[in-house]
């Protein structure tokens, strides 16, 4: 089959690789009809996430048609259309039973689980196409994918609904949703969202849906800020304004009740700490550039909540621990428990209450995926989401 493979920093190619097969009883094979490039894929593209190997197939946002099902799965049938969560979760461990699917104890193979146990204290869950820290599973920017525990992960979508209406159930929609859930929003509250990429925009939408009175969005790309405004958010362009001062003014001196860091590592900024991060990261003194998160912690109101859906992988410094403690902040974070949120979000989409298609700016055949990465990286203002079509582009 054809698949998008990683070969080094800013070097991704479409190669011919072996077709995946049913290996374990609960596996399924999916013929992929739509797959997206995620903002977090850019961390792989920039090689700021470690443990990638040359030849790895990338991609963790995908959906398609079931073409084979292992004997251990009695729920899925060949021919069904499914969206696949990026988190690979077994459904049978302590964590899955507590609906903490992104903490699954079993999906990271025994050999690769060593790395995250050493780095983070406990072995992390498996995920598609996201380095060998998360298991070395092949991703979904390909014609086919093997999906483990396919009786737990993939959600069946009805015939007749277009791919693009449901594709983002795989990651960014539940990620934006969980980011807002983690803010514990009460009526009449103000939520500030750093980063108006796909997750930030969905977090804005979710915050309103969960009862936020106002949402203030922060970015420096005019087009992305315009999208945020179209969803009802007020905006701050951090290239033009001092973010903390603007937030103080906009909140009557109190500060936002909850803050979402939808930026993650490789945070941009034009301030001294950001420049220092760049220098330190370049000589590997730190791995994660966290200018955005520092600003979030300083800007949040006393006793407020901080939610971090943005991806971090390593260590940072100049972390404002004093502000966090003295102000009594609550911080919630984590990879998304996709399987937990998918069914309810699918219902909201089918009921017409959530639309995610506005985000898609570009549709490309799989063969043009390397160009998709390049444009997503270099033209972030207008390239908001790239969807790849391994089976060719079908116009509806």
Partner 1 sequence: MNERISDTEDIVHAEHLAARPGDVLVGRSVTIDRPREELYAFWRNFENLPKFMHNILRVTALDATHSRWLVAAPAGKSVEWPSAITVDEPGHMIAWESEEGASIRNSGVVEFKDSPERRGTVVTVTLSYDPPGGTVGQLIAKLFHKEPKIQARRDLRRFKQLMETGEVATAAPPYAAPRA
Where do contacts with partner 1 occur on this chain (CB under 8 A)?
1, 3, 5, 7, 13, 15-21, 23-26, 53-57, 72, 90-94, 97, 105-114, 117, 123, 126, 135-138, 142, 146, 148-149
Closer Cβ to partner 1, 138 or 212, answer by number: 138
> Minimum distance between the CB of residue 161 and partner 1, rounded to whole angstroms?
29
Residue 392: exposed, middle, or buried by beta-carbon count in 10 A (0-12, 13-18, 19+)?
exposed
- Which residues, 6+ apart, have CB-to-CB distance to 90 below 8 Å? 96, 104, 105, 106, 107, 149, 152
Closer Cβ to partner 1, 107 or 182, answer by number: 107
Strand partners, 388: 35, 364
> Minimum distance between the CB of residue 327 and partner 1, rounded to whole angstroms?
34
Handedness of CA 309, 310, 316, 322 (dihedral sign): negative
- CB-based burial, 292-328: b 16+ in 10 Å, e otherwise: bbbbbbbbbbeebbbbbbbbbbeebeeebeeebeebe
Closer Cβ to partner 1, 27 or 289, answer by number: 27
Closer Cβ to partner 1, 54 or 282, answer by number: 54
> Minimum distance between the CB of residue 75 and partner 1, rounded to whole angstroms?
14
Report how far residue 35's alpha carbon sits from residue 389's, in angstroms, rounded to the nearest whole number. 7
Helix (H, G, I), strand (E, B) or coil at 292: helix
User: Count of alpha carbons within 13 Å of 228, Cβ hemisphere only?
Assistant: 31
Q: How close are the terminal C-alpha atoms of the chain, in Å?
A: 26
> Minimum distance between the CB of residue 5 and partner 1, rounded to whole angstroms?
4
Closer Cβ to partner 1, 134 or 267, answer by number: 134
> Minimum distance between the CB of residue 119 and partner 1, rounded to whole angstroms?
15
Closer Cβ to partner 1, 68 or 156, answer by number: 68
> Minimum distance between the CB of residue 93 and partner 1, rounded to whole angstroms?
5
Closer Cβ to partner 1, 111 or 162, answer by number: 111
> Minimum distance between the CB of residue 380 and partner 1, rounded to whole angstroms?
28
> Minimum distance between the CB of residue 31 and partner 1, rounded to whole angstroms?
14
Using the structure block, give the residue that is written with the tokens 């990429």. Answer: 197
| Cα separations in angstroms, 120 against 116, 124, 133 | 5, 8, 11
Q: Where are the beta strands (DSSP E) in the chain?
A: 2-8, 11-16, 28-37, 56-57, 61-69, 81-84, 87-88, 126-127, 144-147, 155-156, 190-194, 214-219, 234-237, 258-261, 305-308, 330-333, 362-365, 386-389
Structure tokens at 26: 């609960």
Report how far residue 72's alpha carbon sits from residue 59's, in angstroms, rounded to the nearest whole number. 26
Closer Cβ to partner 1, 137 or 202, answer by number: 137
Report how far residue 256's alpha carbon sits from residue 244's, in angstroms, rounded to the nearest whole number. 10
> Minimum distance between the CB of residue 131 and partner 1, rounded to whole angstroms?
11
Closer Cβ to partner 1, 117 or 249, answer by number: 117
Closer Cβ to partner 1, 102 or 217, answer by number: 102
Nearest to 17 by CA among 154, 175, 129, 152: 129
> Minimum distance between the CB of residue 55 and partner 1, rounded to whole angstroms?
4
């Amino acid at each position: 089959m054809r698949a998008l493979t990683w070969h080094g920093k800013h070097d991704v190619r479409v190669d011919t690789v072996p077709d995946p097969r049913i290996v374990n009883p609960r596996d399924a094979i999916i013929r992929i009809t739509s797959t997206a490039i995620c903002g977090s894929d850019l961390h792989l593209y920039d090689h700021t996430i470690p443990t990638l190997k040359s030849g790895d197939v990338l991609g963790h946002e995908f959906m398609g048609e079931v073409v084979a099902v292992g004997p251990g799965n009695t729920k899925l049938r060949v021919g069904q259309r499914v969206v696949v969560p990026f988190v690979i979760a077994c459904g049978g461990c302590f964590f899955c039973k507590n609906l903490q699917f992104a903490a699954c104890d079993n999906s990271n193979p025994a050999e690769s689980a060593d790395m995250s146990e050493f780095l983070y204290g406990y072995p992390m869950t498996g995920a598609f196409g996201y380095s060998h820290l998360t298991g070395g599973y092949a991703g979904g920017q390909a014609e086919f994918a093997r999906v483990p525990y396919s009786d737990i992960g993939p959600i069946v979508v009805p015939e007749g609904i277009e791919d693009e209406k449901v594709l983002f159930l795989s990651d960014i929609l539940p990620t934006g949703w969980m980011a807002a859930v983690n803010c514990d929003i009460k009526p009449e509250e103000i939520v500030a969202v750093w980063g108006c990429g796909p997750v930030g925009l969905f977090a804005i939408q979710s915050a309103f849906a969960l009862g936020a009175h106002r949402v203030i969005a922060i970015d420096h790309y005019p087009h992305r800020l315009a999208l945020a405004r179209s969803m009802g958010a007020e905006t701050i362009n951090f290239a033009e304004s001092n973010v903390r001062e603007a937030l103080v003014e906009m909140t009557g001196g109190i500060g936002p009740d909850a803050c979402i860091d939808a930026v993650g590592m490789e945070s941009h900024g034009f301030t001294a700490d950001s420049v220092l991060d760049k220098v330190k990261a370049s000589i590997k003194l730190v791995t994660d550039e966290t200018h955005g998160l520092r600003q979030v912690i300083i800007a949040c109101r006393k006793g407020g909540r901080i939610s971090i859906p943005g991806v971090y992988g390593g260590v940072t410094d100049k972390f404002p621990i004093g502000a966090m403690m003295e102000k009594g902040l609550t911080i919630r974070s984590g990879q998304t428990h996709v399987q937990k949120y998918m069914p309810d979000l699918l219902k909201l989409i089918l009921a017409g209450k959530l639309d995610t298609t506005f985000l898609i700016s570009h549709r490309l055949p799989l063969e043009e995926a390397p160009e998709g990465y390049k444009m997503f990286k270099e033209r972030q203002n207008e390239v908001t989401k790239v969807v790849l079509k391994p089976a060719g582009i079908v116009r509806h």
